[in-house]
Chains A and B, each alone.
Chain A
Amino acid sequence: MPSDSTQRPVVTQALHFGAEAARQDAAHMGMWVFLASEVMLFTGLFTAYALYRLAYPEVFLHGREHMEVTLGTVNTYVLITSSVFVALGIAFIRRGREWGAGMWFAGAVLLGLTFLTIKGVEYAHHIRDGALPGAHYDFDGFAVPGANLYFTLYWVMTGVHAVHVAVGVSVLSVLVFRTFGGAFGVAYHTPLELGGMYWHLVDLIWLFLWPLLYLV
């Protein structure tokens, strides 16, 4: 007979029969699984990137020359800083400093909006140049076979990422309001932790997009 040594030490009772600890345990688990599925969502795009980079190596070498590396790099720093803010916010709420936590999260929201603004400026430049995806591609400065695919990938990858940033900003904004409303404290701050995890993922994905599209 197998022993009962596999019994979980932390959660001794099933959720709803047990304590808040069990609930938080489940929430974190769920968020990790959700983040795994988000990574798989982007995997399709990374696969497409790898395939078309193999098919059109020249295009991808020269494509990045038409990117505004400065704006992309600034955006990277903006996003990393916002992630630090979120981490600080979590550290604050764990010590019971609700006001500070709210401020750090609000700062992260502002940086998220900054990111979207800079991205919008970049997009405006691309639209001006005619570097639109697929059938609408009309960029004289870079008219070789496959060039449209580079820009299409750029639009779709950064576009899907921007949607995630927008969702993240909305989530963090709600969390800011709830934090200032006194919903969270030392005892209960699971939503802040989960929102933070999501924001870190958004940041992490950009850390892959930035070198692939702007640098290498």
Chain B
Amino acid sequence: MSSAADAEPAVPAEDYLHAERGPWSWLTTHDHKRIGVMFLASLLLMFLLGGGYALALRMELLTPGETVMGRLAYNRAFTLHGVIMVWLFLIPSIPSSFGNFLLPLMVGARDVAFPRLNLASFYLYVLGAVMTLWAILQGGVDTGWTFYTPFSTATGTDVLPVLLGVFVVGFSTIFTGLNFIATVHTMRAPGMGWMRLPLFVWAIYGTAIIQVLATPVLGMVLVLVALERVAGVGFFDPARGGDPLLYQHLFWFYSHPAVYIMILPGMGVISEMVPAFSRKNPFSYRVLVWSTAGIAFVGFLTWGHHMFVSGQSTFGSGAFSILSMLVAIFTALKIFTWLSTMYRGSIWVNAPFTYVLGFIFLLFFGGMSGVAVAVTSTDIHWHDTYFVVAHFHFIMVGASLMAFLGALHYWFPKMFGRRYPESLGVGAAVLIIFGFIATFLPQFLLGNMGMPRRYADYPEHFQPLHVASTAGASLLGFGFVIVAVYLGWSLRHGAVAGRDPWGSRGYEWLSDSPPPEFNFHEPPTFPDRPHDYAEREDRPEVGHAL
């Protein structure tokens, strides 16, 4: 047991988990921490469902020909895998759960700016998820998660509830983002200027701007597709004078920035953990802040790289190609800053830090392949092949999921006041990282050989790589099971964490673990700069506690 735990008061104050009791107190709560935990639980449920579909897809692709499901079933399975993972897991994952839980703690507020809106946002998410899942019971949808017209307006499957479900989830996203922006602007603790915000808050703030400005465009385009199905309005139907490309422009205007909704919070998580486990101040706080702003801004100008083969002008493709590469510059700034922070640091390799390493590797690899597909000539070769599948899984899943799991481990003691078994945590992290690489590395090769995405069948010479990929997916799934088991066990039986088990200098650790109902017993002041590890020798409880 660490000395930090011994410093706990003999009679602990009522924390947010026990301040009120009973399911009703949770369902009607306005406490951002409880809402964050409810989001976390729902998101994990969705992740389980989406992951189940992923494993089913990998089973089908184990052998050429029909393995476990027919082609229509396969189309429905990959659609629902994408819809659930993108709309119901990845986009809300870190902002809605950890953002909700931590942002007010990190800026020293008692709650978010609009606590009731926050709860409404949760119920909108639940409503959207239920509508989407209802479509599964209706037999499923076969459009892919992008709902491309004219197929999505013509297919016989029941697209409408999914469109409306995603529309409603979009509102949840907008309200969450709005809440975060207002909170950061108006509720910072005395003395906390913009350049003293924790890096995670910066990341969530940048994400919130994308959420608020891009999601309404998606909402409108979903309404238009719904109208097209119901009333045949013809916006995207060439037979009526419309243009399917308009759909793609509007869709990707949202959905490319949506990738940054998934990855920016992850970068924020990593920016918190790298200084904490290197015991060093960030190499450059300002570079991390401004590169966040840069990615949020440039993210709006890159959507056309999804449309290189759609027949848009050569000039347009060239411009989008160059703009897309700008993202790599900002990302590289971050990666170099993290590495420079680690350089000559006193590095503590534990489960969260293992995910940090996984994150940086996968982000680097996925990002470099992203530059490759941003080049118009190479993209024509790789377009709609497994190369693209592997690329976006490295970024959207690899990187943002690593950050999500890292966050889950890093803030688990904060949220629940308990620790998890560290050695199991590191083991599972290593298993997950290697499982992930084993799953998606072969897909780069498959794509380069010409295996198209979204196909249930393939020629026999692709089989070895598909087998490797499916084997990797099994490892990955096994890793998640281990994590679920020990985290579930730790909720009740883990060692008591104490206020700051990592010896972190993040502001959120200044409150109790788990925090009291209104975060702080008295209005907080934060005397140190965020991530200030320069004075760590002054704090004897800080060290490699385990």
Contacts and interface: CB of A to CB of B under 8 A. Distances in A.
Contacts of B234: 133-135, 148-149, 152
Given A17-B523, A149-B234, A51 B179 contact: no
Contacts, number: 163
Contacts of B212: 33, 36-37, 40
Interface string B166-196: 0000000010011101110111111111111
Contact of B113 (A29, A134, A145): A29
Contacts of B232: 133-136
A168 B234 CA distance: 29
A38 B242 CA distance: 25
A198 B107 CA distance: 29
Given A16-B109, A16-B110, A149-B235, A29 B191 contact: no
B234 to A, nearest CB: 4
Contacts of B216: 37-38, 40-41, 43-44
Contact of A26 (B183, B217, B219, B523): B183
Given A37-B213, A134-B233, A45 B220 contact: yes
Interface string A171-190: 00000000000000000000
Contact of B174 (A5, A17, A37, A135): A37
A48 B109 CA distance: 42
Contacts of A135: 231-234, 240
A36 B235 contact: no
Interface string A146-165: 10110010011000100000
Interface string A1-36: 110111110011111110000100111011001101
Interface stretch (B143-151, B243-251, B412-420): B243-251
A145 B237 CA distance: 13
A55 interface: yes
B224 interface: yes
Given A13-B190, A22-B187, A134 B231 contact: yes
Given A15-B186, A44-B250, A152-B234, A33 B178 contact: yes
A13 B233 contact: no
Nearest to B518: A16
Contact of A15 (B174, B187, B196, B227): B187
Contacts of B178: 30, 33-34, 37
A47 interface: yes
Nearest to B239: A135
Given A37-B174, A136-B232, A4 B193 contact: yes
A210 B398 CA distance: 48
A56 interface: yes
A193 B185 CA distance: 19
Interface residues of A, number: 49
A34 B179 CA distance: 10
B181 A29 contact: yes
Interface in A103-129: none
A93 to B, nearest CB: 22
Chain A interface mostly: helix
B311 interface: no
B228 interface: yes
Interface residues of B, number: 56
A7 B193 contact: yes
B224 A29 contact: no
Given A30-B113, A134-B228, A37 B215 contact: yes
Contacts of A16: 109-111, 187, 518
Contacts of A134: 227-228, 231-234, 237, 240
A26 B113 contact: yes
A34 B211 CA distance: 11
B23 interface: no
A134 B518 CA distance: 54
B221 A33 contact: no
B235 A29 contact: no
B435 interface: no
Contacts of B193: 2, 4-7
Given A15-B113, A38-B216, A156-B233, A8 B181 contact: no
Contacts of A48: 224, 235, 246, 250
A208 B431 CA distance: 57
A8 B194 CA distance: 10
6 contacts: A6-B196, A13-B190, A14-B109, A133-B233, A148-B240, A160-B220
Interface of B: 107-111, 113-114, 117, 174, 177-179, 181-183, 185-196, 212-217, 219-221, 223-224, 227-228, 231-235, 237, 240-243, 246, 249-250, 518, 523, 529
Given A44-B220, A44-B221, 19 more contacts: A1-B529, A7-B190, A8-B188, A15-B186, A16-B110, A22-B187, A27-B113, A29-B186, A30-B117, A30-B178, A36-B212, A40-B216, A43-B217, A47-B249, A134-B237, A149-B235, A149-B240, A155-B233, A160-B220
A-B CB proximity, top 9 nearest: A6-B193, A135-B232, A44-B220, A16-B110, A134-B233, A41-B216, A26-B113, A26-B186, A30-B182
